[in-house]
Chains A and B, each alone.
Chain A
């Protein structure tokens, strides 16, 4: 149990000097003005297509910007308004479907894209107002569950939308294909140019991002933004101060929905088609993870979280680099958690020794438990094969090892002192075993397992995220 506050002395205030010292780096970053940070970010993103014309990299940059937009939109509802909205992805989907219906061969409507974008924003905001209405009567968990129902309704309409009272609106499971690319008053921007991804889409997304970011920044620093924060901290107090709390909630929903819907339109303009699976719960939780990691309530945090999480997820998907990402992430996590820092080297060395011993034992007992790399393989692979036990037929040992790893990680977080060092060594080795035998075979699943674990870990150790606004509880 933590010690409660002492009478006549505010713990948080007493430790403020220490807090300032500890976050010197973050405070230095804080002194850089907001616009300068935004300009730096934009220059960095804009430079990427100039450096490389690799289509894969450029699509990742575009998708990252889409996620940045989604994260700062969600930040309005969750971070500033303090309303848990689990139907957020439905608005993203509504925007994408609006774009797809208004500019594709589906109904043979081809409106110019800026107009469609305006329609997306207005339509999304209207639906957002409608979905926000229950917040007048419900709060907290109840509101979360109602918004989740809204998401379910959206999904069932979209998946069964090929026969809505005899009208084929959304194409059902097959979605809507052959969507027009972004069209600027009659001049279309083709998605790819001579087989190479058209980097103009990055500039387009960047432009939208800058406009939305600046607009939300201004809103946050206006009366409305201050009122939202008051609402989040204490609804009753805000109401007593004369704030129209009902309207503020609706406004937060509408802003979030409008941003998500606009992002959906942008997303649909690049992708060839929209399908119900593109708007899964996985996407919702990914966006939440981005916001949480960056820090709820901070726009810069949301952007940083989106970039970090998306790049991490994409890197794990690439079989060439995923192993590196995994092992480097482990070492970084150790560096963050372990004090004193030099112990990290000790733990790693002990793990290496432990691994060779286990490998030798396993090889001596049964030689089908280990594999030997071919001499042509690179040195890293040869080291791993001589160190990690890789059975030729893992069978049930995969499940046992996985459950054991989870148990060991949880154990290592509870024990203290010398026991923790002792627990870490087999934990790390088992992590390597699980990675080589289970995880590396299915990177697409692994990345979401790690994301879920990270979400819990961040929540438990640092609920305010990297740059989140700290709440001061006054007792």
Chain B
């Protein structure tokens, strides 16, 4: 048994999983309240990554920033969170609100349009070519040095930053939803929107707040994800799809479910890429085939997810 490879796979699963969990939370919050599958969420995530790039450029780039690189990283995450929160609210106001009482298919198609518009707008302004944050040269390569060494295994700063900030954000979200008045209003709205409205809850405000939270998480996830990969206009599609599935697997509408699903899906992806494709004897490129087939089977067997309640239809 190659323990080094196993350890790397576990670390990989945790990093991927934390990103998926952050995006999945955005899907689940909106779905819980509006019963709307927000197809544009993956593209909000992509916009977040580009906002981070913009902030990095303003402060002089990765090699020679005008202020401390750690401060720049914080600013990148914060700016992306703010910009994506605004973007989320704008999308809700103009693309979803007019369709709130329309047949279920209408807001889905509108969401497809928004997704298309965002990714092609970014391509129009910044080109289709891949860009990077150039993390290799940030603080003289410090991000790739080991932050934690246990025996012969080590984890780089990059992964520690990714995992720790994702966990912090999830704790903050849990506090907001579980311990504040607004969170209480959100939970009430997700259980029964009409009853909540009759109790004096401003539904429009709750929905707006849901989009603020979902956008902010997507923005943070975008910057954290782009620390490890390239930026390009369609980068939001695959993580978005995986994260949505993570939300469904965990039980859509359930916040702990989305976190669980995110980490579960990260594990499945990391395992498939390192081990499963090897066992079946197919090229790594086909790992998506295995993952998606597993997901289809799962959704057929348990559509309500692990922590979700079955949808009972009353006539």
Contacts and interface: CB of A to CB of B under 8 A. Distances in A.
Pairing of A with B: yes
Interface of A: 78, 82, 84, 134, 137-138, 140-142, 144-146, 148-150, 152-153, 156-157, 159-160, 163-165, 236, 281-282, 285, 288-289, 292, 296, 398-399, 402, 406, 410, 413, 438-439, 442, 445-446, 448-449, 451-456, 459-460, 463, 471
Given A157-B286, A281-B237, A448 B116 contact: yes
Contacts of B288: 152-153, 156
Q: Per DSSP, are chain A's interface residues mostly helix, strand or loop, or mixed?
A: helix
Contact of A460 (B94, B116, B282, B292): B94
Contacts of B303: 137-138, 142
Contacts of B153: none
Contacts, number: 136
B182 interface: no
B172 to A, nearest CB: 28
A153 B37 contact: no
B180 interface: no
Given A149-B295, A449-B117, A399 B110 contact: no
- Closest 3 pairs between A and B when the two form their complex, measured CB to CB: A455-B113, A452-B117, A452-B116
A152 B128 CA distance: 21
B246 to A, nearest CB: 12
Contact of B110 (A84, A153, A459): A459
Nearest to B113: A455
B292 A152 contact: yes
- The CB with the most chain B CB atoms within 10 A, among A137, A439, A442, A459, is that of A459
B113 A459 contact: yes
B123 A456 contact: no
B110 A460 contact: yes
Contacts of A288: 109, 112
B300 A153 contact: no
A453 B102 CA distance: 19
Given A137-B303, A142-B303, A165-B281, A452 B105 contact: no
A160 B117 contact: no
Given A152-B241, A449-B117, A452-B117, A463 B106 contact: yes
Given A406-B121, A452-B118, 6 more contacts: A82-B105, A138-B299, A160-B285, A399-B125, A452-B114, A452-B116
13 contacts: A84-B105, A148-B241, A156-B285, A156-B289, A157-B286, A236-B315, A285-B112, A285-B113, A452-B113, A452-B120, A455-B113, A459-B99, A471-B103
B78 interface: no
B289 A153 contact: yes
B105 A78 contact: yes
Interface in B110-159: 110, 112-118, 120-121, 123-125, 128
A456 B39 CA distance: 13
B108 A84 contact: yes
A138 B103 CA distance: 17
B108 A144 contact: yes
Contacts of B103: 463, 471
Nearest to A166: B281
B283 A163 contact: yes
Contacts of A145: 37, 241, 244-245, 248, 299
Nearest to B106: A463
A164 B315 CA distance: 49
Nearest to A137: B300
A438 B125 contact: yes
A74 to B, nearest CB: 12
B105 A165 contact: no
B300 A438 contact: no
Contacts of B116: 282, 285, 448, 451-452, 455
Contact of A446 (B108, B124, B315): B124
Contacts of B102: 463
B200 interface: no
B90 interface: yes
Contacts of A452: 113-118, 120
